[in-house]
């Protein structure tokens, strides 16, 4: 039976996607991670799992948010971002499935990320430098923005860093790392779960958050 939303059974499929399975997936071209269509071809995920991702992407495109259909796969995690934005400041959405089959750790992130790696794309370091410059001008407004978005940022365990602006400003410019600012929808939260179960409403939530980011002027 097709999934009507990102329900527990959908996350259960993601939960059993591990590195040995992904390592065996044949990949087309010089891609760094297996794509959803490739993982589907190996029957690691079901057609219903894949089609739900397609439904979300179609709903986003109706709202003028253009993501490719092929999510990138990691163990128990998938993510997506617009074409030609790898290793640059990017819109980013991702799903996580924790080890708990009940779904206490499952959820979805929505926001802006950057994977710093100058050897892959020097322009990403320029993006990050611009972000740092914007934050220096108004640290308080940046931290207020992240709180308004949902108070979620990655990584969240940097020693001695208490607010999002610290995480950026105290990180050596150019050092490889992943940063993300936005919102995390928890499957264990009844309110968030309602969004995850309703694809059109979830797409509206994503658009609303992206619009807040655009209006802030920090990232774009």
Q: Residue 33's Cα: distance from chain center in Å?
A: 15
Does residue 3 sit within a domain?
no
Provide the pLDDT for residue 176: 64
Does residue 16 sit within a domain?
yes
Provide the pLDDT for residue 159: 47
Provide the pLDDT for residue 177: 78
The residue segments making up the domain with residue 142 are 8-216
Task: Indicate the range of 65-79, 121-135, 177-191, 192-206 predicted with least confidence.
Answer: 121-135
Rg (CA), the chain: 17
Residues 135/112, Cβ–Cβ less than 8 Å: no
d(CA 215, CA 220): 9
Does residue 1 sit within a domain?
no
Does residue 2 sit within a domain?
no
Most confident of 109-118, 153-162, 174-183, 209-218: 209-218
pLDDT exceeds 90 at position 10? yes
Does residue 194 sit within a domain?
yes
Beta strands 177-186 and 72-74, pairing class: unpaired
Q: Using one digit for the tens of pLDDT, what is the confidence trace for 179-204?
A: 888 999 999 999 999 999 999 999 99
Beta strands 107-116 and 152-154, pairing class: unpaired
**E-strand stretches of 50-159:** 72-74, 77-80, 90-96, 107-116, 152-154
Nearest Cα residue to 191 out of 177, 182, 200, 202 = 202
Q: How many CA atoms lie within 13 A of 208 on its CB side?
A: 10
Count Cβ neighbours within 10 Å for each residue of 99-118 and write b for 16 or more, e otherwise.
eeeebebbbbbbbbbbbbbb
Provide the pLDDT for residue 191: 96
Does residue 159 sit within a domain?
yes
The predicted model scores a pTM of 0.91
Please count the other Cβ atoms lying within 10 Å of the Cβ belonging to residue 175: 11
Residues 111/209, Cβ–Cβ less than 8 Å: yes
pLDDT exceeds 50 at position 146? yes
Residues 11/46, Cβ–Cβ less than 8 Å: no
Residues 108/6, Cβ–Cβ less than 8 Å: yes
Residues 79/88, Cβ–Cβ less than 8 Å: no
Does residue 182 sit within a domain?
yes
Task: Indicate the range of 71-80, 139-148, 169-178 predicted with least confidence.
Answer: 169-178
Cα-based distances in Å from 180 to 28, 34, 113, 175: 28, 21, 4, 15
| Main-chain phi, psi angles of 60, to 5 degrees | -70, -40
The number of folded domains in the chain is 1
d(CA 191, CA 174): 38
Q: Higher pLDDT residue, 209 or 175?
A: 209
Does residue 131 sit within a domain?
yes
Q: Record the tokens describing residue 66, joined without a space.
A: 């253009």
Q: Using one digit for the tens of pLDDT, what is the confidence trace for 53-68?
A: 999 999 999 999 999 9
């Amino acid at each position: 039976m097709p999934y009507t939303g990102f329900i527990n059974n959908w996350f259960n499929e993601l939960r059993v996607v591990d590195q040995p399975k992904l390592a065996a997936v044949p990949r087309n071209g010089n891609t760094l991670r297996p794509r959803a269509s490739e993982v589907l071809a190996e029957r690691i995920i079901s057609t219903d799992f894949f089609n739900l991702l397609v439904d979300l992407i179609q709903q986003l495109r109706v709202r003028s948010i253009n993501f490719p259909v092929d999510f990138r796969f990691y163990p128990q995690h998938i993510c997506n971002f617009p074409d030609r934005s790898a290793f640059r400041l990017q819109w980013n959405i991702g799903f996580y499935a924790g080890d708990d089959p009940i779904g206490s750790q499952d959820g979805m992130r929505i926001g802006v990320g950057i994977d710093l790696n100058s050897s892959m794309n020097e322009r990403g370091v320029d993006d990050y430098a611009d972000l740092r410059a914007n934050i220096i001008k108004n640290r308080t407004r940046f931290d207020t923005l992240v709180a308004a978005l949902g108070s979620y940022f990655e990584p969240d365990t940097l020693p001695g860093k208490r607010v999002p602006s610290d995480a950026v400003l105290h990180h050596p410019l150019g050092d490889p790392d992943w940063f993300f600012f936005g919102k995390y929808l928890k499957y264990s939260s009844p309110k968030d779960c309602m969004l995850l179960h309703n694809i059109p409403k979830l797409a509206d939530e994503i658009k609303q958050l992206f619009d807040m980011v655009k209006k802030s002027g920090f990232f774009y």
